[in-house]
Structure 1
Amino acid sequence: MPPDQNPKHLPADERRTVTVEAVVALAAQQNPTDITTAAIAQHMGLTQGAIFRHFPSKESIVQSVLDWVSDKLMGKVNLAAQTQQSPIAALEAVFMAHMGFISEHPGAPRMLLAELQKTGDTIPKRMVVTLMTNYRARIIELLEKGKACGEVSAELDLDAASTLYVGMIQGLVIQSLAKSDADYLMANASKTFAVFKRGLVCAN
């Protein structure tokens, strides 16, 4: 990190953002549930006290991380969708943008999966569910546009198709983790979407 970006010298808002980014980076290297405030502080070259001056608890850090992931991901998704006139092309652009985001921030999906696996109804878990709900709604919107313009079969089950879309992403992430191969995502993204695309026009 450049000297002028040292967390010790940043304004409060920027330090919070850098802390969140540090947690995402750590999540790419270890089990997210094992990340301690001591580890975060060490990674940033700060004391735990400095961390707690900006976050009242570890859970508040996790919530800020999930807010960051949601904002960044949905921002990329919406921007990608706007670059294409064709609904199917927009779906592919969104898919590739999502793959790119995960490739750039491999700790992000690990954070989401870690929260979903926790028992009970926690605020972070609800945040992940909300993100997934909003994401699927965006995919369904594009599929509906595809139906309206004739690019997508009128018989397509939108709920099932959106589930498969999200499942493709989750499947690629899990395979990438299982193979310990960071390049697996981008190497297989296009051909995976191609299979999904064929199903959109042959739904009946």
Structure 2
Amino acid sequence: MNAPQKKNLPAKERRNVTVEAVVDLAGSTNPDSITTAAIAKHMNLTQGALFRHFPNKEAIWQAVMKWVAERLMARIDKASEGIESPLETIQAMFLAHVAFVSEHPGAPRMMFGELQGSKTTPAKRMARTMLKKYAARLNDLIEAGKARGELRADLDSEAAATLFIGTIQGLAMQSLIAGDMSHMAEDAPRVFAIYRRGIIAEFEGEKGE
């Protein structure tokens, strides 16, 4: 379904609407096959109108990666706000991340597409930077959890952060293959429970038994 045309929008809002249209389009279309003509058609615009706000397709893709990074981190920040426990913060991040991807299936498709590409584009560099910062944030939380005795003292923080991200990516891929992103939200609590059992301190595990 084509997005309704919105006239006389400020430039910044028009760019945001364009980015959201691309993410929406990527939810049902291979990102590699999305052309500026397809984006313009989806938005009921001309390509000329599209290029008044973006000089080229590469600029659109870079804006999409920025949109994904900012919206995802904002969702995670909100979900973890006020939580003191590093372990509970990690769980809140996991569920918030899954919820975001479930609501915006085009986001992981765009991310995977950029990271798998052979060319080093601005969008690909932005995706890598986001993942690096995300992993660093997780690593800090895991270290804090170890210091508080919530997580195993011998836990490999870097590996645990990698597994956290990889688990979400795996859920996303399986849901995309199944063609039903609601599977992610349904499976996430059970999947995280397994991950949690692998990282918690022994006494924490005993309390849950």
TM-score by structure 2 length?
0.92
Give, in angstroms, the shift of residue 102 of structure 1: 0.6
Report which stretch shifted further, 9-18 or 72-81. 72-81
> Which deviations, in whole Å up to 9, do the C-alpha atoms of 1:45-88 show, x marking residues without a partner?
11000000000000000000000001111111222222312111
Separation in structure 1 between the aligned mates of residue 33 and residue 175 of structure 2, nearest angstrom: 21
**Mapped contact 1:140–1:159 kept (Cα < 8 A):** yes
* C-alpha distance in 1 between matches for 2:17 and 2:95: 26
Structure 1 residues without counterparts, runs of 5 or longer: none
Superposition pairs of residues 135-146 of structure 1, within 5 angstroms: 135-146=134-145
Identity %: 51
Partner letter of residue 174 of structure 2?
Q
User: 3-state SS of the aligned residue for 1:8?
Assistant: coil
In structure 2, stretches of 5+ residues that fail to align are 203-209
Listed one character per residue, the Cα deviations across residues 89-148 of structure 1 (whole Å, up to 9, x for unaligned) are 110100111011111111001000000110032221111110100111111111111011
- Tell me, yes or no, if the aligned pair for 1:8 and 1:46 is still in contact at 8 Å: no
1:164 aligned residue: 163
Counterpart of 1:92 in structure 2 is 91
- CA separation in 2, counterparts of 1:179 and 1:120? 29
Distance 2:6 2:53 in 1: 12
TM-score, reference length from structure 1: 0.94
Question: SS state of the match for residue 134, structure 1?
Answer: helix
Structure 1 residue ranges, 4+ long, deviating more than 3 angstroms after superposition: none
Q: Is the 8 A contact 2:31 2:113 kept in 1?
A: yes
Aligned match of 1:101? 100
1:23-172 equivalence runs, <5 A: 23-172=22-171
Distance 1:197 1:109 in 2: 24
CA distance in structure 1 between the partners assigned to 2:96 and 2:49 by the alignment = 35
Question: Which position in structure 2 is the counterpart of 1:188?
Answer: 187
- 152-161 or 114-123, which moves further after superposition? 114-123
| 1:196 aligned partner, one-letter code | Y
> In structure 2, how many angstroms separate the alpha carbons of the residues matched to 1:180 and 1:45?
26
- How far the C-alpha of 1:9 sits from its partner, in A, is 2.3
- Paired residues of 1:83 and 1:90 also in contact (CA < 8 A): no
Whichever residue aligns with residue 190 of structure 1, its letter is P
Identify the residue that residue 176 of structure 2 maps to in structure 1. 177
- How many residues align? The count is 199
